[in-house]
Amino acid sequence: MSRGYLIRRLLAVFLVLAIVTFAVFAITTMLPGNAAIMILGEYATPDAVAALERQLHLDQPWYTQYLSWVGGILHGDFGTSLRLSLPVTEVVGEAFANSAMLALTALVVVTITAIPLGALAAIKRGTAMDLGLGLFSYLGTALPEFVTATLLLVFFAAPQQGIFPAGGFVAPWESLTGFGAHVVLPAATLGLVLMAHVARQVRSEMSEVLSSDYIRAARLKGLSEKRVIRRHALPNSLAPAVAVISLDIGYLLGGIIVVEEIFAWPGLGRLLIYALENRDLPVIQAVTLLLATVYALSNLLSDIVIALLDPRVRYA
Amino acid sequence: MRNFFSTPTAIVGTALLSIVCFAAIFGPFIAPYDPQAFDALNRLQGPSMAHWLGTDQFGRDLLSRILTGAPSTVAFGVGATVVGVGIGSIIGVVAGVSGGWVDSTIMRILDGLLAVPDLLFTLLIVTILGGGMEHAMLAVSIAFAPGMARISRSAVLSVRTRDYVRAAVARGESGFYIVRAEVLPNALSPIVVEATIRVSFAIMIGATLGFLGLGAQPPSTEWGLMVAEARQFMFRNPWCVAVPGLSIAIAALGFNLFGDALRDSLDPKRSHG
Amino acid sequence: MTAQTLMKDAPIAATEKSALSIIDYSLSYKTANGLIPALQNIDLTIPKGKTVGLVGESGSGKSSMAWSIMRYLPSNAVETGGAIRLAGEELLDYTPFQMMDIRGRRMSMVFQDPSTSLNPTIRLGEQIAEVLMRHRGLTKVQAFAEAEAALARTGITRPKEMLQRFPHEASGGEKQRVVIATAFACEPELIIFDEPTTALDILTARQILDLFNQLRDETNVSALYISHDLGLVSRVVDEVNVLHKGVIVERGAVDEVFRKPSAPYTRQLIGAVPNPDRWIGADAPAEPQTLVKLDKIGVHYGAPSRIQKMFWPEDADNVGFWGAKDVAFEVRRGELLGVVGESGSGKSTIAKVLAGLQDFEGRLEFDGKNVASRKAIDRAYRRRVQIVFQHPDASLNPRQKIGKILSRPLKLYGIVPRDQIKARIAELLEMVRLPAEFADRYPHELSGGQKQRVAIARAFAAEPELVICDEVTAALDVSVQAAVAELLVKLQKDTGAACVFITHDLNLIRQLAHRIAVMHHGKLVDFFDRADARSDDRDAYTKALLDAVPVHAAPQETASA
């Protein structure tokens, strides 16, 4: 991979993140309600409010606030949570780790199931299996996470006879089985939507590859079907599959907000909803920025993987 | 367009869409019961002859509640999409037609906004605007705009380099004529297709907001809200969460399938694939 | 022996001795409109060690024939009878599994476009070696050694290095050599060449053709050579078959067919092959008057931005590339000026500059007035200079009817009063020999040639003084090509407009143009009167181009050429 390509992509990511900080700041400062009043309560004296506003730099013009906020971030300081009176880094850090475990579990499951499923459907086009996958993927993309989650709860987590716990979290270092039991339903909820989408995209990419001239040429060389599929077709549809998955990480990050709320998973999503309800500005800003960063970086990572998979991109 | 109904996708999509639209238009008039009428004796019933889809925790008829909720659910999806597509397409067309630094600036800003997941973006805006159906709808529109802008921009760009547009430029046509008569009519179909599919996302996000308590407010019969309200009782009567949940899925599926079929019939390359 | 008896006797005699024999073979495709016949009662024999040509225009069924022989038909194909025998063995009886063993080993194929028929993510070496490993049971090391040798035989100078490259790192000619090396790798009995030079540039095509002849002599392989180009086929084959609408209408030795074509279709086809000795152009303008003058015209694609120029001024010239540089020539009133070059030569760039579609550097003078830049081009200039593009599918707005398309220049420039527009459209259509009803049709309801006529009518509707034709015949079938070229010449004659005719086809341009400009790598390398095409002081590149294109005399002219 050429260094120029990497540098260009990295610069683009930084630019995106710079714009995101601005957007996040703009949106959050537009939030109604005065932070100082929120902290001190409605009956605080005007003097106390003014003092706190000074302390929070709320009396400064917006660009000064923005610059000091960004400056803080660059030093790893996201401010102090207004509600929890803890450093935001601490609050968000733990939630981030919990969310990452959930999201990665879902992502791994999706990757190892959806790609082979989609490829198989493309190879066996028009068969019952292909049709079944089509049906499943349409249903998957039409069910919002909260419906899937609720239905999964009804089936697998009923109070007495349920197989899995209805919610909560156990860290894997405390009990691996406990973590496993708790992660199944939320990960399945997240995974179902993604799996449906990824499998469908892989199928369509793979079909396109299978109808290409070079696959025809490979078959006309008399190569075995196994080699045509494994050596010629699959590698060429993997790069697009990675691109699809990386875009779907955006859905995944949106999805965890709802899923964590439903399954009481102490991650970023749950934290965000709590912060939104309580107008905890620094936390809202940090969570939003963090999710956007993860998304931008995962896109960068996928670009690198694609470049490794496809020699044409590698040298571009 | 001639062979639109030649695929199962199109047939099923059109059928589902017809059902959903029928419910959205006539639902409130054909509902057998008052959707808000409590019936303490018939709480959390399964489907029966009297209540085809069962009753909820207050004994309200689920079928009637679904039917009266249909107009707002569909209106939410279509409304949010139309506004979002409108805003987005204007931005995208302006970017695509202008090119140069205008285009790059708009695109960089869009890249930034697109890095924020749709649902998160919507949640932030809803929080700014405050809850409620109208605000939720506006929030979804705003969240949709960057994505739509990007799609309409690329549609415009792909048309812009076609020879018939070049021919118009070489002829000395005005920029306005070229955009109106040569570019837009040909860039429209990908935008329409995308918009149709997005209605299904809008319906799902709207329901999610209702579920989280940030969209429709009780005693509305919005479907997402119905799932949220019935969740406490879901183990006693799964029907009261399954019915509104599946209704959302059917509505979303209808728009999704219809949009896919539309794409296939408009794109000659795909239809032979 | 007449063609008739040849057709009758050939299959029976050929069965044992021939490499391939096709007997009374018919094929149809199942469509929504019922069975559409693609091939009807085909008899074709390829004797051992011979090359047989199959010539036809698009839609003639020539590709279907290739798929039939390779037993690689789409699922809607219905074979309605006949036999296809490889060295006497009936291929129709073989299972798909048995065919897998025959393909690549006993029969192989060379495709039209090497850039799509090679797998973009696999190194070229593996793409050759895999055939050897599959069919000759070689180990990886042996196969790569053999692949290297095979590549060397195709004239690639550093075969070992080439093995390590990916397709996008090789040129079109190199890629086609790889495909050819693969086809020859297992020393098959039969190779099918499906338009192997069509996607290549003139000089490269010539080299590939020479390579084919050389390899054929070395290996004594039997080959079926499929092409739309009768002139080209005549240089490689022993016997030619002319396919028209799924039926072989003519067969015979190449010279025979060229000298005495029996079928009317063959005669039409031969007549349409551009022949530089048959002048069809308009008379040259009596006294040369300059209409357009280009001086030091340059186009810099991907030119460095202001920031780049500021920080890396020394790189400014190397950023991007020059689509055209220091191009200078003039176009005279009423003349047809040919601009010839391979792809990437800058010929289309010059067309875009003239049509006001491309920013340029240098001096452009039109009718004595200086045009400073693209932005300075006004509507008056745009009316007087019109352009016709290569692909008629792309140059007509699919959502406008033909009448609307033709009305635009009339309205825009106020050529005729509003109430006469309709009548004028009918006249324009008649002028390009299309029925007046076409005004109510959409472009997709017309054939490629008809669409190109509409595009030409639109250009002439503006009553221009200069018409730029950018490869206007390249996307059309041979027979349609000739008609469109003749139409252009006639219009030019009638209106007195000058024409810049851009093409890669030297034979065609020598039939039409008064003067010819040759471009290469963005530069003008040669400029001459048509009469001087063969003169000694031509540029070496011009000579190479002229030598690369086959010239086959039309039957009514000299047969000795």
Taking a C-beta distance cutoff of 8 angstroms, is the pair B133, B220 a contact?
A: yes
Q: Which residue of C has its CA nearest to A238?
A: C121
Phi and psi at residue A218, to the nearest 5°: -65, -40
SS3 C556: coil
Asked whether the bond before A159 is cis by omega within 30 degrees of 0, the reply is no
Closest CA to B115 of A286, A295, A8, A99: A295
Kindly list the residues from chain A whose CB atom is less than 8 angstroms away from the CB atom of residue B231.
150
Q: Quote the CA–CA distance of C241 and C225 in Å, as a whole number.
A: 10
Tokens of A147: 């419906």
Residue B221: which CATH number?
A: 1.10.3720.10
- Which residue's structure tokens are 């004594």? C220
Architecture of domain A89-315: Orthogonal Bundle (1.10)
Q: Which residue of C has its CA nearest to B161?
A: C394
The pLDDT score that the predictor gives to residue B1 is 45
pLDDT, averaged across chain B: 85
B148 contacts: CB under 8 Å, gap ≥ 6: B84, B85, B87, B88, B89, B92, B191, B194, B195, B198
Residue C455: which CATH number?
A: 3.40.50.300
The CA distance from A174 to the nearest CA of chain B, in Å, is 30
Q: Quote the CA–CA distance of A294 and B33 in Å, as a whole number.
A: 49
Give every residue of chain C whose pLDDT is below 70, as ranges: 1-16, 304-319, 550-561
Tokens of C84: 């296809």
Q: Is residue B42 part of a domain?
A: no
Q: Is residue C469 part of a domain?
A: yes
Q: H helices of C71-123, where? A: 96-102, 114-117
Per-residue pLDDT reduced to its tens digit, A119-170: 999 998 888 888 888 888 888 888 898 899 888 888 887 777 778 888 888 8
Per-residue pLDDT reduced to its tens digit, A206-251: 999 998 999 999 999 999 999 999 999 988 888 888 888 888 888 8
Interface touch C382/B167, C-beta < 8 Å: no
**Residues facing C387 on adjacent strands:** C468
A233 contacts: CB under 8 Å, gap ≥ 6: A119, A206, A209, A210, A215
Taking a C-beta distance cutoff of 8 angstroms, is the pair A264, A169 a contact?
A: yes
Phi and psi at residue A85, to the nearest 5°: 50, 40
Name the more confident of A32 and C385. C385
Question: What number is the average pLDDT over the span A278-286?
Answer: 85
Per-residue pLDDT reduced to its tens digit, B141-164: 999 999 999 999 988 888 888 899
Closest CA to B255 of B200, B210, B201: B200
Q: Is residue B92 part of a domain?
A: yes
**Residues facing C242 on adjacent strands:** C55, C250
Which of C399, C404, C452, C500 is the best substitution to test chain B (most B C-beta atoms within 10 A)? C399
Q: Quote the CA–CA distance of C339 and C501 in Å, as a whole number.
A: 6
**Residues facing C47 on adjacent strands:** C18
- In the DSSP assignment, the letter for residue B181 is I
CB-CB neighbours of B1 under 10 Å = 6
The pLDDT score that the predictor gives to residue C400 is 92
The pLDDT score that the predictor gives to residue B214 is 85
C139 contacts: CB under 8 Å, gap ≥ 6: C133
The CA distance from B21 to the nearest CA of chain A, in Å, is 17
Q: Which of residues 188-247 of C touch A (CB under 8 A)?
A: none
Q: Quote the CA–CA distance of B178 and B39 in Å, as a whole number.
A: 63
Q: Quote the CA–CA distance of A248 and C101 in Å, as a whole number.
A: 43
SS3 C525: strand
Q: Of A159, A272, A296, which has the smallest distance from its Cβ to B115's Cβ?
A: A296
Q: Of C32, C378, C397, which has the smallest distance from its Cβ to B182's Cβ?
A: C397
Taking a C-beta distance cutoff of 8 angstroms, is the pair B226, B69 a contact?
A: yes
Closest CA to C519 of C510, C506, C531: C506
Taking a C-beta distance cutoff of 8 angstroms, is the pair A314, A308 a contact?
A: yes
Q: Is residue C234 part of a domain?
A: no
Please give the tally of structural domains in chain B: 1
Tokens of C546: 């002229």
Alpha carbon dihedral B186, B190, B193, B199, in 10-degree steps, equals -120
The residue segments making up the domain with residue C385 are: 290-548
Q: Is the pLDDT of residue B98 over 70?
A: yes
Name the more confident of A150 and B233. A150
Q: Quote the CA–CA distance of C459 and C410 in Å, as a whole number.
A: 10
The pLDDT score that the predictor gives to residue A44 is 74
CB-CB neighbours of C98 under 10 Å = 13
Q: Quote the CA–CA distance of A160 and A183 in Å, as a whole number.
A: 19
Tokens of B112: 């930034």
Per-residue pLDDT reduced to its tens digit, C154-206: 988 899 999 999 998 899 899 999 999 999 999 999 999 999 988 888 888 88
Rounded CA Rg of chain A: 24
Q: Is residue C508 part of a domain?
A: yes
Q: Is the pLDDT of residue A104 over 90?
A: yes
The pLDDT score that the predictor gives to residue A1 is 53
Asked whether the bond before A240 is cis by omega within 30 degrees of 0, the reply is no
Interface touch A272/B123, C-beta < 8 Å: yes
Q: Is residue B273 part of a domain?
A: no
Q: What percent of chain A has pLDDT over 70?
A: 94
Closest CA to C215 of C259, C169, C170, C182: C182
Phi and psi at residue C37, to the nearest 5°: -70, 135
The CA distance from A202 to the nearest CA of chain C, in Å, is 18
The pLDDT score that the predictor gives to residue C432 is 93
The CA distance from C388 to the nearest CA of chain B, in Å, is 8
Interface touch B186/C378, C-beta < 8 Å: no
Q: Quote the CA–CA distance of C498 and C465 in Å, as a whole number.
A: 6
SS3 C222: strand
Among A303-307, B9-13, C273-277, the minimum mean pLDDT is found in C273-277
The residue segments making up the domain with residue B188 are: 7-34+49-266
The pLDDT score that the predictor gives to residue C277 is 80
The pLDDT score that the predictor gives to residue C315 is 64
Phi and psi at residue A143, to the nearest 5°: -100, 115
Q: Quote the CA–CA distance of C423 and C529 in Å, as a whole number.
A: 40
ipTM of the complex: 0.84
The pLDDT score that the predictor gives to residue A216 is 93
B269 vs A: CB within 8 A: no
Q: Are strands C190-194 and C222-227 parallel, antiparallel or unpaired?
A: parallel
Question: Residues C262-270: contacts with CB within 8 Å, 24+ apart?
Answer: C262/C3, C266/C242, C267/C555, C268/C479, C269/C55, C269/C57, C269/C230, C269/C242, C269/C478, C269/C479, C270/C230, C270/C554, C270/C555
CB-CB neighbours of B176 under 10 Å = 8
Q: Quote the CA–CA distance of C543 and C206 in Å, as a whole number.
A: 13
CA quadruple B113, B116, B122, B125: dihedral sign:
negative
Q: What's C416-443 look like in SS3?
A: CCHHHHHHHHHHHHHHCCCCHHHHHCCH
Q: Is the pLDDT of residue B250 over 70?
A: yes
Interface touch A288/B116, C-beta < 8 Å: yes
Instruction: Tell me which residues of chain C have a C-beta less than 8 Å from any C-beta of chain B.
Output: 32, 355-357, 378-379, 382-383, 385-387, 389-391, 394-400, 408-409, 412, 455, 458, 462
SS3 A231: helix
Closest CA to A142 of B16, B152, B62: B16
Please give the tally of structural domains in chain C: 1
Tokens of C110: 């060379």
The pLDDT score that the predictor gives to residue C14 is 45
Taking a C-beta distance cutoff of 8 angstroms, is the pair C123, C165 a contact?
A: yes
| Residue at A279: amino acid letter | R
Taking a C-beta distance cutoff of 8 angstroms, is the pair C555, C259 a contact?
A: yes
Domain residue spans in chain A?
Answer: 89-315
Confidence band for A51, pLDDT divided at 50, 70 and 90:
confident
CA quadruple B209, B211, B215, B221: dihedral sign:
positive
